[in-house]
Every structure is written in C-alpha cells, then in structure tokens.
Structure 1
Amino acid sequence: MSDPLHVLHASLARRTTSLAVHLALGALLVWISVASSTMPFGWRAVLLGLGIVVLILAREGWCESAQALVLDANGLRQENGELIAPMDLIASVDRGVFAFKPSNGFVLHLTRPIGLAWAPGMWWRTGRRVGVGGVTSGAGAKAMADTLAMVLAERDRRTGNSDGL
C-alpha cells in the first residue's frame, strides 16, 4: 500500500449520535410490536422484524464507522485494507447540491460496475457509483473529494483524457 493522500475519520460524537438514534428507533419499533394488543398480528410481526433489522444496522454502523477511509495512489479503501474503488476505475467526483450522495459526502462515478457493498454510515457502492459520507464531517469529506479531484485532473492531463466520465 502506498502513502495516504487523505484519511477520512468519523468523529466519536457523530458515531454516538447515529448509534443512539438507531437504538432508539429499533427499541421503539420492538416495544410497539410487543406492547400493542389491538394491532393485528401481521403488523406486529412486521414492526418486530423492522425493529430487529434497525438494531442490527445500529451495531453494523457503529463497527463500520470505526474504520477510517484512506485515499492513496491505489484508490479509496477502508483502513483495514478493503478496496472500495480502485483509482484506475474512478472517472469523476461529484459533490454538487443535486448529486445523489450521502449526507456530508460525495459520490464517485466509476468507469464500470464493481459490485454491491455497503458500510453503514460511511460508504455504499452500487452499479457505477460509490457514495462516501454519512457520519463523516462535511469538511473532511470535502477535502478528500478535492484531493481526489486534483489527482484525477493530473491523471487526465497526463493521459490526454478530458472526458470526465
């Protein structure tokens, strides 16, 4: 692995707030499903299932947001080494107001799809898009997007490619 160009961490306060909101929602759904005697059984089962899913996602989000995102010459990866988007497949970065992106984040457009993946609260990958953000700080995500945009501009200048996509 090469030297990092930028590292993006999720703050403890954002991680804790996200965990608290998810735990409260999951507990509320479970409580409503158990405490409501007038609700039909089917709806109680649906609420119980949703509550359990939200509680599982709370745990996953807490664990995944402990991993920093690292941008280096090879691409974007998690701190544990899992590659999110290889540099040679990244076509462009979009952090515009109307971009379909996570909160406080940005979206990468890839040249080809590389499969579905998701780290709740940190990033998602579907089709030719990778969304980065969520519990990350807006300033940190903006700095990473700017760094990546400069790397891509330099790569395009060297190769003579001015497409962007």
Structure 2
Amino acid sequence: MFHPDKDGVLAVVGASTGRRVVACGVIYVLGMLLIYVALGEPPALPLLLLVLALGIGSLVLAEALRRATLSEIMMTADTISTSDGMVIARIDDIVSVDRGAFAFKPSNGFTLKLKTKQPRGWAPGLWWRFGRYVGVGGAVSAGQSKFMAEQIALQVATRSAK
C-alpha cells in the first residue's frame, strides 16, 4: 500500500495551470460573445433578455470555475477533502469507485457511490456531490485522478476484506 506524506496525504488531484486557463478562457469568451451579440444588434426584447442572461451566466460560471480550480482535492486515510478544508466524502462511507469508460463521471475522473446521502455540493472543474454519488474530475489531470481512484478502491477493498 502507498504510504502517506508527512501531512498524511495519500493522493492529490488538482487542475494544472494550462487546463485552468483553457477552461476558464473558453467560458469567459462565450459569455463575452453572447453579450456582444445581444448588444451589437439587439433582437426582440425576450430574446435580448435571454441572450444577456446566458452571457452573464457564462461569466459567473467562468469566475466560479476560476476560483474553484485554485484548490486541490486531497485524500487522507479518513477523508477526501479540498485544500480549503471542506470534506467531500469519508472513506468509511464509500461503497464503490466507478472509473470505467462508460461510467457516468466527470471528464478525466471517477464516481464514488456512498452509503449515506450527503448534501449537494459543486466546485466547477473539480467535483460534484448529489445524493449518494460524488464525482471527481473535470479540469484535472487524468493521471492524478486515476491514482486517487485506485487508492480509494484499495482502501475500500481492504476494509471489506476485514
């Protein structure tokens, strides 16, 4: 089994600078283009309001993505949490890890099935939590997320073998 570092961290998943720039840039550009189209040659009022709302929503989403991808996801022997201290899931609560090609999971990531329902949560580009499912991935490195998924699967298998 892999040994933790001096802080007890077994695995870390984060978004690289390049992935952050591309992901945020695309959504920022989309928002600016929608606002430009709406204000350049204004269509009928209902359509104008819709396109403006979509443009502003895209800019808000891009800013949320930028802020969320500043943190990392860390796995310790007990929890999976963000570098900000928010606990995403407890290792004892994980039933299974799904990282297959046809799994419902974020890009470059994996899905965890939990024993108990948890409150909803979302950090764009990093993770989401809905009911008994947690998705980790998005703008993250595929290698890092694969390593974390394997470490979680190993912890679950070790626990169920006892």
TM-score normalised by structure 2 residue count: 0.93
Contact 2:14 2:126 in 1 (8 A): no
Q: Deviations over 1:100-127 (max 9, x none)?
A: 1100000001112101100000000111
Aligned equivalents of 2:90 and 2:58: distance in 1? 31
Contact 2:110 2:135 in 1 (8 A): yes
Aligned equivalents of 2:117 and 2:40: distance in 1? 45
Say which of 123, 130, 151 aligns to 2:127.
123
1:40, distance to aligned residue in structure 2 (A): 1.4
Aligned to 1:74: 78
Aligned to 2:32: 27
Aligned equivalents of 2:41 and 2:116: distance in 1? 48
Aligned equivalents of 2:142 and 2:94: distance in 1? 21
Aligned equivalents of 2:112 and 2:41: distance in 1? 45
Identity of aligned residues (%): 39
Aligned to 1:90: 94
Aligned to 2:14: 9
Q: Deviations over 1:49-85 (max 9, x none)?
A: 1111110111111111010100112221000110001
Runs (4+) off by over 3 Å: none
Gaps of 5+ in 2: 1-6
Aligned equivalents of 1:101 and 1:75: distance in 2? 20
Q: Deviations over 1:6-40 (max 9, x none)?
A: 11121000000011101111101111111123x21
Answering whether residue 75 of structure 2 is matched by residue 44 of structure 1, we say no
Aligned equivalents of 1:41 and 1:35: distance in 2? 14
SS of the aligned residue for 2:117 comes to: coil
Aligned equivalents of 1:102 and 1:123: distance in 2? 8
- Indicate the structure with greater strand content: 2
Aligned equivalents of 1:43 and 1:156: distance in 2? 56
Aligned to 2:161: 157
Contact 2:126 2:140 in 1 (8 A): yes
Answering whether residue 147 of structure 2 is matched by residue 146 of structure 1, we say no
SS of the aligned residue for 1:114 comes to: strand
Q: Deviations over 1:83-107 (max 9, x none)?
A: 0011121111000111111000000
Gaps of 5+ in 1: 159-165
Answering whether residue 60 of structure 2 is matched by residue 56 of structure 1, we say yes
Contact 2:20 2:66 in 1 (8 A): yes
Aligned to 1:112: 116
